[in-house]
Structure formats: structure tokens, C-alpha cells
Amino acid sequence: MTTIFTAAPTERSTAADRLLDRLMKAACLLPLVLLVCLFATLAVIGSARAEEACAGRDLMAEWRSSDPAAVAAVEKEAAAIPNGKGIFWKIEKPGIPASYLLGTMHVTDPRVLKMPDGAAEAFAAAATVVVESDEILDQQKAAAAMLANPHLTMLPQGKSIADYLTDDEEKKLDAELKTRGLPLALLSRMKPWLISSYVALPACELARKGKGAAFLDMKLAQDAVRDGKQLKGLETLVEQLSAMDDLPIEFHLKALIETLALGNTIEDVMATMTTLYVNGEIGMVLPMMKAAAKAATGKDDTDSADFEQRVIIDRNHVMATRTAPILAAGNVFMAVGALHLPGDEGLVELLRKDGFTVTALN
């Protein structure tokens, strides 16, 4: 992505500061809208100062030899999750053309962009494409919505993240952000969950995005518009922001501190999650992340249930309700985050309760 400033250094710096201030006030966590904001941010401050190649290790593969009990625990938890295997599903109901559901990862990894067998053909044939939020294609609309609701993303006036962290935690946060080309001063007034979103993305992923690489959901939305398909979103940006902001600040502070404790393990978690995704092992993703956090912090995650309920399950019900009338016409290609698919209250089960037959294709 090209830099949008061509003025002299002093003028450019002042203009960049003003734009970055607006962008940061408009920033957001949930993957689709976060990445739109991130694209704009990196266009101004330059690509993240990191290599594009990700070097994370497959934690599950390592644990099989070093900690088989951890692997057994992850696999046991995943086995109890309905529809935990598969990212590509066929949706059918008598009398209407078939539709398709793809679970996505909001990353630029070529393995993810490739999509499973049959998905590209299903997308090409679809008349309607459904994504989590169609606002990913309209940065100005997204920014306006966030600026109108600053309480969802920004700390109270006069407060900064330093007021909630120890000196050591602040130093760790500053160091992690610098590896991503983001100075702490730029993000200091953001709510902790928003800062966590930047820390949780490996520097290599930010570097690729900073150079204009597309993530899967955005590419599908762009291709839908290019091909003249009808594009529909299931949520508004404000709804996505509210889901995160509904959780108490104590929860988000703990999550930020634990994310910092992961250090370089962030890339390992991303690499492991990507491998699980490509293999269709979606049910293992959250159990693996809990195990990785415990290995790094020595503590069990006792708060994840609230997060899963508000940020995943509650949104699953919204998505299912809003997509049902769209699916009733048939010939739909639906792409949403893969973590919304599995579980008793995942999209696969909720669509079945609406009378659709949903079958895994990979």
C-alpha cells in the first residue's frame, strides 16, 4: 500500500499525526474491521519493521514429544465439540439451490488464501456472497461509525494504558509494539482489548499486510463486488465493537498481560492455529490457545467462558438469524470466521435448527 503523504518531512509528520489520531480513534479489535483499520495505519507509518516470513513452530507437534498430556487434554476437549472438524460446508433445503459455508482465518497466509477444494468453484457460481461485515470495504463508513462511539474503543479522558499497568508490563508492551513498527504513544489511549489485538498479531503478519497483502475475507468481498455479485454483511461495526466492550476492563487487562507474557510464542500460536485450520481441526483451536497460555503463564484460563459466550456464541445467534432469509433464496456463498462454525450453538447447528441440511465437504 502506498504512503498517502508527499509533503515535506515536517508537514508530513504533522499531517500523519492528525490522520493517525483519527485512525486510532477509529481502530477496532474484531478481525475484519481491525484489519481494515490496520491497513490504513500501516499506510501512514510505513510497513511494520519485520520480516514477512513467519517463523512460528507447530506447538502441537512439539507437545506430542515433550508434553503428550497437553496434547491429550487438547484433543479430549476438542472431541467433545460438535462439528469441530471441517471448514467448508454445503447448505441444502428442498426446493432451493444449494449454498455453501466457508470458515475463514482473517490472515494473509497463502495456505489460507488457497481455500479448500471446491470452495473457489462454489464462490464463482454463487449469486450472493455473505461476510461478517460488509463495512470492510468502506473505511470511511467504518471510521465514521467508530468516531461516533469513542467510548467503545478509547479510555476515559485523561487516562492512558500506563495507568493500568506496572512499569514492567508497560516496558514489555512498548517492546512488543516496537517489533510491529507501532510506538506505544500512538496506542496509549486505546482500551486494553484493542491494544491486545495489535500485540496478538505476529510482526510477520503485520509486515505482509503493510505491503498490501489481502486477507481472505477482504479478498472474497472485493471479488464479489468485482464480479457483480450481491454482497451482504451480517453485523455492523458498532455491534462487533460492543461485543468486546461488554466484557469488563479487568478481563481485558488480564488478557493483555497474558498476551505480553507469550512473547515470541505469539508466532508459534499463529503457526499452530494455521496448521489446525488448514487441516480442518477447528475444534482444537481454542483448547490449543488455552494450553499455550497456560504453558507461558503457569495459570489456567478461568475467564474464557465469558469471552466465548459474548464474542462467539451470542454473535453466532445473530449471524444465524440474519442469514436464514438470505439462504432461503439459495445460491449463497457465506464466509465467516471459522470459530463461529463448531459447537452446540455454532452456525452449523443453528442452521440445522432452521431446517437446513449442513454437510461437511472437507
pLDDT tens digit sequence for 320-339: 999 999 999 999 999 999 99
pLDDT score for 46: 42
pTM across the whole model: 0.82
Residues of the chain with pLDDT below 50 are: 1-50
What's the rounded Cα separation, in Å, for the pair 172 and 64? Answer: 30
Whether 192 and 253 have beta carbons less than 8 Å apart is answered as yes
> For the chain, what percent of residues have pLDDT higher than 90?
48
Mean model confidence pLDDT for the chain = 82
What's the rounded Cα separation, in Å, for the pair 354 and 96? Answer: 14
pLDDT score for 53: 64
What's the rounded Cα separation, in Å, for the pair 42 and 3? Answer: 9
